[in-house]
Amino acid sequence: DTEVTQTPKHLVMGMTNKKSLKCEQHMGHRAMYWYKQKAKKPPELMFVYSYEKLSINESVPSRFSPECPNSSLLNLHLHALQPEDSALYLCASSQDVAMGTGSPLHFGNGTRLTVT
């Protein structure tokens, strides 16, 4: 079982809806990540939080809005999405915050998002 918990597991939303994805970890990790993954493709980095501050935003459209309320929680707020945004959204955490160290990513099982 994964130590990173994501809710909901599945989400179907219309293009005018507002919804949020949630992620929680209790491993004491100080870096948290959002990835987007299309079928049979590698994960694509969206956002990185380091000590609850946004440190990387990989040119993600503003219809995706991340939030890190505390060191254990990470949210992704969704608004006015497009059908091409349908994908598996993965949350991950890692122990270290410094770039280029050996701490592996710990992934949740993801939220399968369908935009209709």
CA distance 85 to 94: 25
Q: Is 95 in the site for other proteins (CB under 8 A)?
A: no
Give the separation between CA 14 and CA 87, rounded to whole angstroms.
14
Using alpha carbons, list the distances in angstroms from residue 110 to 76, 101, 106.
12, 25, 12
Would you say 2 or 82 has its CB closer to other proteins? 2
- Using the rule CB under 8 A, is 12 a contact of other proteins? no
Residues 61-90 within binding reach of other proteins (CB under 8 A): 90
Considering only residues 23 through 52, tell me which ones interact with other proteins, judged by CB under 8 A: 33, 40-43, 45, 48
Question: SS3 for 83?
Answer: helix
Rule CB under 8 A: which residues touch other proteins?
2, 4, 6, 33, 40-43, 45, 48, 56, 90, 92, 99-102, 104-110, 112
